[in-house]
Amino acid sequence: MNSHFLALLLTALLIATNGCSKVARTVDRPNILLAISDDQSVFHTSRAGARFVNTPAFDRIAREGIYFTNCYAGSPGCAPSRSALVTGRHHWQNEQAGQHASAWLKK
């Protein structure tokens, strides 16, 4: 037999047997929930000790997941920080969308 034909036959056999596996393969993917609120201070949750608001759903997510106590934002304003988070760019690179009380440009 021709060596090229034999190599092709062996490759086809390996692909066919690998694709017919009965074992289910799972891919480990992170389960990430990103919650964004507007004009919320660090102390505006019952988890953080606020007595004027009750946030049981947020408290449960923070308790069962990871609760960051020290984070940095790209800007002190909420709209510019959101624009940086959504685009992956600095807020000053997002033109009008990187300013407080602005809108996204239609392009």
* Helix or strand holding residue 106 (H, E): none
Of the listed 40, 78, 89, 102, which one is catalytic?
Answer: 78
Mark whether 78 is an active-site residue: yes
Residue 56: its pLDDT value, please?
Answer: 92
Residue 27: its pLDDT value, please?
Answer: 77
DSSP characters for 30-58? --------SS--TT-STTTT-SS---HHH
Q: Dump pLDDT digits (tens) for 26-53.
A: 778 888 877 777 777 778 888 888 899 8
Residue 80: its pLDDT value, please?
Answer: 82
Residue with tokens 């660090």, as numbered in its chain: 42
Residue ranges, the chain, pLDDT below 70: 1-25, 97-107
Domain boundaries, the chain: 37-71, 74-107
